[in-house]
Structure 1
Amino acid sequence: MSKWHDIKVLKESTLLQTMEIIDKSTLQFAVVVDENDHLLGTVTDGDIRRSFLKGHSKDVTITFVMNTNPTVFKVGHPRSFYIKFMKQKQLKQLPLVTDDNKIIDVLFIDKIDSGYENSVVLMAGGLGTRLRPLTNDIPKPMLKVGGKPILETIIDGFKQYGYTHFHLSVNYKKDVIKNYFQNGEAFDVSISYVEESNRLGTAGALSLLPEKPKTPIFVMNGDLLTQLNFEQLMHFHIENDSIATMCVREFEYQIPYGVIETDGDDLVSIKEKPVHKSFVNAGIYVLNPEALDYIPENEFYDMPELFQKLLNLGRKTSVFPIREYWLDIGRMDDFEKANTEYEEKNI
């Protein structure tokens, strides 16, 4: 994700001020916006040079120089989609905007084509007890949905948004996973393995990473299917300046009785079979590198414990509500549902 704020200029800026921003960023590109970050135009190094040939002074406002009709695209598509579009149009950069033309990001083909540096840690060491006998010989993340292992579908989901560096935390039937994925080269990603000698929970395995990451990392349970836009999740995490972000899902449950509200001995109201809504943990997280300092080494430690510790210490944590398709394959009926929905939902 580009730091597009570094190449932002207001419409009142002069040509000289824009030149300084372009030269400082080394991107040879700037976006012109209003006070609410609505995109008004773009400026390249070439635009500036051509303006000098037209006789413009350095004090002219940038609105006289900018391209008022640049190629833009709506935010929300997979990274692979933008790469294909930019190559077809031979674009070096592409501003991403909302429906009301508010700029969200600027993509640069030489940067997005090489992918992000952020690592993805997938928890794939569970026993899958509730899915036996299917998991007697293979670990749950290797069960096939739509003809390929759940874990492969998860990796493909991250890969389409440019995240290709994976650590797989393995324990139960680990050789099945390692023999299938190996170093990831056959899947156009890089894969290393974190081997748990004992079960360490959804956070404890992070203490076994070979080195502390330099950028925020994803952590995700290896038995989930989702169409989540991981690029948007990372953008949300960075914009909120949080040490940790937890993805959540809205869960509804209906009380099968009439619920009575009272005031002392007085009946106040009767709500017949009300539906309650709550947010629940969706098993997908983004952690800053310093968050790992709070995880005990080689001890069982679950992710909710880490978030509670961060809250107790007053560290900023966030929640990211998932609106996209999401399914936790924990039971046999979930597994059957996943296979039914695989083609329907285009997972």
Structure 2
Amino acid sequence: MNALLLAGGLGTRLRPLTESLPKPMALVGNSPWLERLVIHLREQNIREIVMAVKHYSEVIQDYFGTGEKWGVTIQYAAESSPLGTAGAIKNAEPLLHDTFLVINADIVHDIDLQSLLSYHKRHGGAVTIGLTEVDDPTSYGVVEQDGDGRIVRFVEKPAREEAPSCRINAGIYVMDKKALQHIPSNREVSIERETFPLLIEKQLGVYGKVVDGYWMDMGTKERYRQIHWDLLNRVYTLPLPGEQRGNGIWIGSSCSIPSSVLLIPPVLIGDRVNIGERAIIGPFSVIGDDCIIGRNVRCAETIMWHRCLTHNEVVLNNCIFGYDLEIGSEHILHEAVMSRMEVLQS
């Protein structure tokens, strides 16, 4: 058993954070999500990994290399042109085992993958689709299943009264390699619109199983924020780095935080962070490693990646800042999203 991580998407809706970064490399709790996903796979005894890469593929390959640092083996299947979900799987075919796991690498989750694998072995079909249940199915492709769990059709963005269920594709699959013979090579192929309906038509056995545990697509800024609020609230119980001090405050190593600083939980502060006198940080703030925050800064509901510099008297509310940003004194920012550029000088 090996796992294919689909990490080649453009991440358009997360721009500018993804203008020079693959979306799965966005930080979640101060670490790249893709790194946390690799660790999650290793903890579930899946140690052979293939990464389908395209957008800034060198960032991923340079960071992970062979995977030895994480106790796994990583190979890469690079796309020269966009291939879609099914096309990316077909492109990786030479590297895949007879049965393999597929995960959209921009899905943040804490799923028991072994139960999905066991279910796949029991039913004997070609594909198992991990499903998640949503309150409002009208914006998704919804599945209809028979009593045995076999998927009989997909209904795209149904009216609420016409939806056969509230179950949608969670972006996690178990597949037998024989299913790949039904995917054409060297062109873009949608797995939901083309491949799965074809496999259903050919009665090769496409089953669905609701997966338990946290699940969130981080494809938009709003969802990216929500993942962090869930993380800080411990709705999503991914381990947080640093030492927990009091209820809802995590602080990394070698930080300088004067006694006049007010930390309003929940707050996560990375390593080697310097905060100026009388700053107020929180609630719901994530500060990356090596950040410098000036005097009298007010920072709430804000995610700040590594090495940011915020000068004195700045007010930040509901912002997301990528790496290496500098914000001049006395600026007030609300819902700003910026990345990898020097901005707003005094």
TM bin (shorter chain): 0.5 to 0.7
Task: Give the letter for the 1:203 counterpart.
Answer: A
Which amino acid in structure 2 is aligned with residue 246 of structure 1?
I
Cα separation, 2, equivalents of 1:176 and 1:284:
24
Contact persistence 2:2–2:97 (CA under 8 A): no
Alignment CA distance shift 1:279-1:120 (3 Å): same
Once the 2 structures are TM-superposed, how far is the Cα of residue 341 of structure 1 from its aligned partner? 2.0
The residue aligned with 1:206 is 89
Amino acid aligned to 2:206: T
Q: For 2:203 and 2:119, locate their aligned partners in 1 and report how far apart those are by CA, in whole Å.
A: 20
2:8 equivalent to 1:120: no
Shift of residue 157, structure 1, vs aligned partner: 1.4
What amino acid does structure 2 have at the position aligned with 1:316?
G
Letter paired with 2:46: Y
Which of 10, 13, 16 does residue 130 from structure 1 map onto? 13
**1:214: Cα distance to partner?**
3.9
Q: Does the aligned pair in 1 maintain the 2:93–2:180 contact within 8 Å?
A: no
Once the two structures are superposed, the pairs formed by residues 43-122 of structure 1 within 5 Å of their partners are 118-122=1-5
> Secondary structure of the equivalent of 1:286?
strand
Inter-partner Cα distance in structure 1 for 2:7 and 2:25: 9
Offset of residue 274 of structure 1: 8.6
Q: What is the aligned counterpart of 1:302 among 190, 213, 216?
A: 190
CA contact (8 A) 2:133 2:167 kept: yes
Secondary structure of 1:333 counterpart: helix
Aligned equivalent of 2:222 = 333
Task: Determine the C-alpha separation between the residues in 1 that align with 2:228 and 2:123.
Answer: 36
Number of aligned residue pairs: 213
1:346 corresponds to which residue? 237
**Which of the residues 38, 45, 50 maps onto 1:162?**
45
Residue 195 in structure 1 maps to residue 78 in structure 2: yes
Deviating above 6 A after TM superposition, structure 1's stretches of 4 or more consecutive aligned residues are 273-276
Superposed displacement of residue 308, structure 1? 0.7
Q: Shift of residue 210 of structure 1?
A: 5.8
> What SS does the corresponding residue of 1:242 show, helix, strand or coil?
coil
| In the alignment, structure 1 residue 150 sits paired with structure 2 residue 33 | yes
Partner residue of 2:170?
Answer: 282
State whether residues 254 and 274 of structure 1, in contact with CA within 8 Å, keep that contact through their aligned partners in structure 2. no
Residue 340 of structure 1 and its aligned partner are, at CA, apart by 2.1
Counterpart AA for 2:49: F
Residue 93 (structure 1) aligns with: none
Secondary structure in 2 matching 1:163: coil
Structure 1 segment 251-262 matched on structure 2, within 5 A: 251-253=134-136
Contact residue 112 and residue 212 of structure 2 kept, 8 A: no
Deviations 1:114-151 (A, max 9, x none): xxxx1100110111110111111111100000111111
Contact 1:212 1:289 in 2 (8 A): no
- Distance in 2 between residues matched to 1:336 and 1:278, nearest whole Å: 24
Structure 2 match to 1:216: 99
CA gap of 1:211–1:254, structure 2 versus 1, over 3 A, is closer
Matched, 1:322 2:211: yes
1:227 aligns with 2:118: no
Question: Which residues in structure 2 correspond to 1:263-282 (within 5 Å)?
Answer: 278-282=166-170
Q: Residue 254 of structure 1 contacts residue 275 of structure 1 at CA under 8 Å; is this kept in 2?
A: no
2:150 matched residue in structure 1:
none
C-alpha distance in 1, partners of 2:7/2:95? 20
Q: How far apart are the structure 2 equivalents of 1:145 and 1:234?
A: 26
Contact conserved, 2:137 with 2:167, CA < 8 A, in 1?
Answer: no
Compute the RMSD of aligned alpha carbons: 2.0
Match of 1:211, SS state, is helix
Q: Residues 254, 201 of structure 1: CA spacing in aligned structure 2 closer, same or farther, 3 A cutoff?
A: closer
Tell me which protein shows more helix as a share of its residues.
1
The residue that corresponds to 2:181 in the other structure is 293
Tell whether the 8 Å contact from 1:252 to 1:275 is kept in structure 2 after alignment.
no
Task: Provide Cα deviations, 1:261-299, integer angstroms capped at 9, x if missing partner.
Answer: xxxxxxxxxxxx999751111111010010111111121
Query: Residue 137 of structure 1 contacts residue 173 of structure 1 at CA under 8 Å; is this kept in 2?
Result: yes
Q: Which has the higher contact order (CA 8 A, sep 6+)?
A: 1
What's the CA shift for 1:338? Answer: 1.3
1:254 Cα deviation after fit = 9.1
Task: Report deviation, 1:235.
Answer: 0.4
Q: Which amino acid aligns with 2:122?
A: E
